[in-house]
Chain A
Amino acid sequence: MSGAITPVTMPKFGLAMTEGKLADWLIQVGETVSAGQELADIETSKITNGYESPVSGVLRRQVVAAGETLPVGALLGVVADASVADDAIDAFIAEFQANNASADTEASAADAEPSTVSVDGLDIRVKDVGAAEGSQLPVLLIHGFGGDLTSWMLNQSALSHDRRVIAFDLPGHGESSKSAGEGKPSSFAGTVAKLLETLDADKVHVIGHSLGGAISLELARLAPEKVASLSLIAPAGLGPDVNMTFINGFISEDRRKTLEPILQLLVHDKSLISRRMIENIIRFKRLDGATGALRTIADACFPDGKQADNLRATLENYPGPVQVIWGENDEILSSAPAQSLPDKVAVSVLSETGHMPQMEKVSDVNKAISAFLEKND
């Protein structure tokens, strides 16, 4: 037996076992083990068991570290006589793994995963993508009432091929802390300014949708040095009207059947409101504190069913470039204010479009924003 190399593989302890975790090695590399002696502890969904060495010999390699979970049959280590050459051991492992090469490829294609940063004691979920180098300024995307960073899923990567693009969940939204504070555009803008400092983004192009548009304007007032330009999509803050059927229904309706007609107010093409989208919003609203935060924001921003803040003066006073994009058929915030904006504002009103132009007219909006950003870097 002196030349034999024995693989130690994940055992199958029971009929239901498909994988196991190597909880701990009990024999270290180079130590001698006798047949029947425990080599390692294996943890399964049912039990933790000692795994006995099938043969006597020296544990030559630990292929797997303690704590790893592997399918039944996967190579854990190699036992052989001390006289077997290291090259032979390596060749054996290589051959074993090549023959057992299974579905190990899936982990590679991981997209940029959102991460969580702490701002003012709040957890803020951030999705930060694209190149940091180059002279192009980064972009900050601010979603609207009840949205989250996925509101930009059709825009963020399209804008990020030549610049850094940051999306995040506002406080009270998505997976950020469910504390909305005062719930006003100005209070959110204060948090956003600190978020930019945390992310080392000194100056950004700001793109805000709906309530995020009002927050963008307040950010431009509070921290003008941070705002290179403003792109406002169906922004709040420029007129008194708001569809309270939507706001109240969004907060209170928690079943698919009753929430669907509320969400359909968001778009001109009603078929865009998918089952999946409704389900995701219901799941968000089930989170502890979510509906409370939405109620706080609604009470602060829309008391008596009207918008509390008029930010038209802020828009006029902001010295940088501004563009406004609005859907002609917006049922949440009427596009009427788009008709009477200052001359310096580039305005586009999109036909057959509701309150979500960045979703309903993806390529038009992405093109308009890209051109605007290039002009104003």
Chain B
Amino acid sequence: MSKKSFRQAINEALRLEMRRDPRVILMGEDVAGGRGGTSGVTDAWGGVLGVTKGLQTEFGEDRVFDTPISEASYIGAAAGAAATGLRPVAELMFVDFVGCCLDQIMNQAAKFRYMFGGKARTPLVIRAMYGAGFNAAAQHSQALYPLFTHIPGLKVVIPSSPYEAKGLLIEAIRDDDPVIFLENKVMYDDEEDVPDGSYTIPFGEANLTREGDDVTIVAFGRMVNFANEAADRLEKSGISCTVIDPRTTSPLDTGTILDCVADTGRLVIVDESSPRCNLATDVAALVAEEAFDALKAPIRRVVPPHTPVPFSSTLEALYMPNADKIEAAVKSVMSYRMKEEV
């Protein structure tokens, strides 16, 4: 056990699974770097943020390879490779690029099991970076997990820490269905203790990072850190919060969310994706339908405005949910009073 960054945890998960199972391959734009160039240097880059660095050196060009800049072709190839016996991990770089290959994901990989009468397996993992806060502008900053969550047949994973990332990625690689694995690009240097060996964290089991009596906060990915920060501050002012990290948006651990809301009676949802039809609306609908009687206050969502992610760092900071906004939302649901019945 030692401290590892989010980046190292993901690299180690890939490395351990590639050692364990020769069917695991890595493909994507610049996952190694140097292919087709004249420098003779291989494994130069290891992905745009260095996550897959060193893997081509250990496993060779047959198992770790750079693809042309054509998402439609290599995501399609990965889906086909999965359907025919390999366990590909394809890197989409920025999740914003999914527009170029959505058919391969939505109409092909996600549908194989269903349309082949349950007989097809598609053990495909698509890794991609998501999220704002990196000054990467509107085409490289989106949090598109609601898009994937919307599509039946996909599993969608959003790890919130290095420990979570390693265990969830190993689970994703061993899963027989297509899994979208989304990494928040601002978190790559976050560090915590991560075991050296292999371990798996099951899908569809939420993690409670804080347990309290007054308010339930559901947060996704990087937002879990903000929710924890807000919960720790609120604890000092006498408000105790439960923080739920669902880990996977599909499958979603609805049981844990409903249980916690039944205990606290108040719900705040933190989601950095665009506010219409996002996970916050999804969880709000779930609780409004299934736990209406438990609610002591309206559900509050902490979400960005319905705009593209701004490039200006000042505007980007205003756009993002943060601990202050979560704290304010929790205080507002705590101070809510039902109107007297007349």
Partner-B contacts on A (CB < 8 A):
14-16, 18-19, 43, 45-46, 175, 178, 254-256, 275, 283, 286-288
Contacts and interface: CB of A to CB of B under 8 A. Distances in A.
Interface stretch (B195-203, B221-229, B326-334): B195-203
A1 to B, nearest CB: 36
B200 A45 contact: no
For the complex of A and B, list the 10 residue pairs with the smallest distance between their C-beta atoms, beginning with the closest: A286-B199, A288-B198, A287-B199, A15-B135, A45-B188, A287-B197, A45-B189, A16-B134, A45-B49, A46-B49
Given A175-B195, A283-B199, 11 more contacts: A14-B135, A16-B134, A19-B189, A45-B49, A45-B189, A175-B1, A275-B211, A286-B199, A286-B201, A287-B197, A288-B198
Interface in B194-222: 195-202, 205, 208, 211
A288 B49 contact: no
B129 to A, nearest CB: 11
A19 B189 CA distance: 10
B323 to A, nearest CB: 19
B50 A175 contact: no
Interface in B13-52: 48-50
A288 B135 contact: no
Contacts of B167: 286
Nearest to A125: B1
B196 A175 contact: yes
Nearest to B163: A283
Contacts of A16: 134-135, 186
Contacts of B134: 16
Given A256-B208, A275-B211, A286-B167, A45 B199 contact: no
B211 A288 contact: no
Nearest to B167: A286
A288 B173 CA distance: 14
A283 B200 CA distance: 9
B289 to A, nearest CB: 23
B7 interface: yes
Contact of B197 (A43, A45, A255, A288): A288
Nearest to A46: B49
B313 interface: yes
Contacts of A255: 205
Nearest to A287: B199
Nearest to B135: A15
A286 B200 contact: yes
Contacts of B202: 254
A175 B186 contact: no
Nearest to B136: A16
Contacts of A254: 202
Contacts of B195: 175, 283, 287
A45 B208 contact: no
A244 B50 CA distance: 48
A10 B211 CA distance: 42
B67 to A, nearest CB: 21
A287 B199 CA distance: 4
